[in-house]
Amino acid sequence: MVHNLGEANSIFNQYMAEIRDIHIQGDMLRFRRNLERIGALLAYEISKDLDYKITDVQTPLGVAKVPTLQSNIVLATILRAGVPFHQGMLNIFDKAESAFISAYRKHNKDGSFKIKLEYMAKPDLKDKILILSDPMLATGASMHLTYQAIIEEEKPRFTYLVSAIASSEGIEYMKKHFSKSEVSIWVGAIDDELTAQAYIVPGLGDAGDLAYGRKEDK
């Protein structure tokens, strides 16, 4: 159910190292570009799991028989940190439809918080493959709540949940709330610690702030 690309040696881990590196994070363009590349490589690996059929392709010299993608894909992401991550996947699945969800943590004075959903735009999901991405999977609550909102009217055929970095607690939360028949989880790394404020350690900090600048606290 859980696929961790970071467990194998590849250039993928170079990009993961750079988004974590405090000395590189100050370059927002580079941070966004690395998130995009991580999203693209995760999408490429997921593509191996999808449906294909042999298609006759006319070339100048004859006909080539080529396996071509048959799955209808919807790429969904959580704003705002998910935008470059989403673009990387869209670079691979260039014919996919897209869905966008605005979700954020509403903090209380005691330090606790609730996940708030404010906006969602999505296509029909019937009989399609849903790939729901968020760069950071901390507690798992945002991903779960977003998934429930997306499938309220119709369910996809299957769902891939994708994050660059997950906490082990978030992974266990997802295993508890989803079955293997519903979803598959794909990540770039799994970190063991989650702080009381639900930040992943060592993690990388706030992905949205690193990609687009520090937001005003309210």
Enumerate domains of the chain plus CATH numbers. 2-212 (3.40.50.2020)
Residue 83 φ/ψ, nearest 5 degrees: -60, -55
Is 106's pLDDT higher than 70?
no
User: Quick count: other Cβ atoms within 10 Å of Cβ 159?
Assistant: 23
Q: Is residue 107 over pLDDT 60?
A: no
> 135, 126, 51: which is closest to 88 by C-alpha?
135
Angle among Cα 44, 47, 49 to the nearest 5 degrees reads 135
Which region, left, alpha or beta, applies to residue 159 given φ > 0 means left and ψ of -120 to 50 means alpha?
beta
pLDDT reading at 197 higher than 90: no
Would you state the pLDDT for residue 110?
A: 60
Is the pLDDT score of 59 beyond 80?
Answer: yes
* DSSP single-letter state for residue 63: E
Confidence of residue 37 (pLDDT cuts 50, 70, 90): very high
Better-predicted residue by pLDDT, 213 or 115: 213
pLDDT, mean over the chain = 92
pLDDT in tens, 68-102: 999 999 999 988 889 999 999 999 999 999 999 98
Measured from the Cβ of residue 130, the count of other Cβ atoms closer than 10 Å reads 22
Whole-number pLDDT of residue 112 = 57
Using CA atoms, how far apart are residues 25 and 151, in angstroms rounded to an integer?
A: 35
Tokens at 12, concatenated: 């993928």
Instruction: Report how far residue 75's alpha carbon sits from residue 145's, in angstroms, rounded to the nearest whole number.
Output: 17
Return the residue matching tokens 């082990």.
168
Q: How confident is the model at residue 33 (pLDDT cuts 50, 70, 90)?
A: very high
Position 146, amino acid: T
What's the pTM? 0.91
Region 38-44 average pLDDT: 98
H helix runs in 48-134, sequence order = 82-92
Share of the chain above pLDDT 70, in %: 94
User: Which of the four pLDDT bands, split at 50, 70 and 90, describes residue 181?
Assistant: confident
Lowest mean pLDDT, pick from 3-12, 31-40, 92-101, 175-184: 175-184
